Amino acid sequence: MNGYRTAFFDVDGTLTTAPSMFRFLRHYLAALGNPPHEYTSRRRELKAMNQVGCPRTVTNRAYFAHLEGAFAAEVSFRAEDWFRDELRSGTFFHEHGVAALRRHQDDGARIVLVSGSFPAVLDPIAEHLGADEVWCTEPDIAWGRYTGRLTRPPMLAEAKAEVVRAVAARHRTTPAECIAYGDHMSDLPMLRAVGSAVVVGGDKVLRTHARIHGWSLLPAAPVPPALDLPQWHSDRHTAAHDEVKEVESV
């Protein structure tokens, strides 16, 4: 793969076939005993914000505002359970994106995931893929609970380009020796910051830049079927909550 020192990958739509944050949220809310319309309501709210022109950074913050008060350990516990379900489905990862990542690994490149998602969701994905670093949106946690705020701006747009420069400097290389993969317009600053870029899917803005700059293209990820929702039972919920409390006490 031309000896790139570092390969930067967006996650949702680039390495996965669906938005990890929303796939997880649907699972999480059901696992806590919420009726299906709770997820539908939250999803519609965020879509409506997007349709009226709210920047993606604003909708990203709104997503985490809904987690206010949630125990961080329980969110992580549920995220691991969700990811196991995704793996069992066999449709979660985008084969073309993952194949590119594996080729870079074989060439000895550092693999860096750069995503607007958050650690609870990304950690099992990064571990499964063998990524070297993860840079993402960081929800604020106080006394073991999500506060609904962020510790810094969401990992979107120009923040992704800043990661490229910071990682390159830390490892004594240059952005020109790096490659990046992305599928959404918010990935454009990251794609422009590196020496070579790959556009995944059919985003018109990114494909226009690909034609201008000679970037490579990969097919869009297929749309996966919905996961079966976890069955909520009071005894299972109590057992899971007890396990989370035990983790928090360690």
Domain ranges within the chain, ordered by starting residue: 6-249
In this prediction, residue 2 carries a pLDDT of 65
Q: Model confidence over 82-116: pLDDT tens digits?
A: 999 999 999 999 999 999 999 999 999 999 999 99
Mean pLDDT over all residues of the chain?
92
Q: In terms of C-beta distances under 8 Å and separation of at least 24 residues, what long-range contacts does 60-63 make, across chains too? A: 60/116, 60/137, 60/154, 60/156, 61/150, 61/154, 63/21, 63/25
Q: Alpha helix (H) ranges present in 17-71? A: 20-31, 36-51, 56-65
Please state the rounded mean pLDDT for residues 26-53: 95
Percent of the chain at pLDDT exceeding 90: 90
Which of 180, 146, 160 shows the shortest CA–CA distance to 64? Answer: 146
How much is the CA Rg of the chain, to the nearest whole Å?
18
In this prediction, residue 3 carries a pLDDT of 79
Model confidence at 73, pLDDT cuts 50, 70, 90, reads very high
Which of 44, 49, 43, 66 shows the shortest CA–CA distance to 139? Answer: 66
The second-level CATH assignment, the architecture, of 6-249 is 3-Layer(aba) Sandwich (3.40)
Contact assessment for residue 129 and residue 53, using Cβ atoms and an 8 Å cutoff: no
Contact assessment for residue 200 and residue 182, using Cβ atoms and an 8 Å cutoff: yes
Model confidence at 75, pLDDT cuts 50, 70, 90, reads very high
Strand order of the sheet with strand 133-136? 133-136, 110-115, 6-9, 178-182, 196-200, 216-218
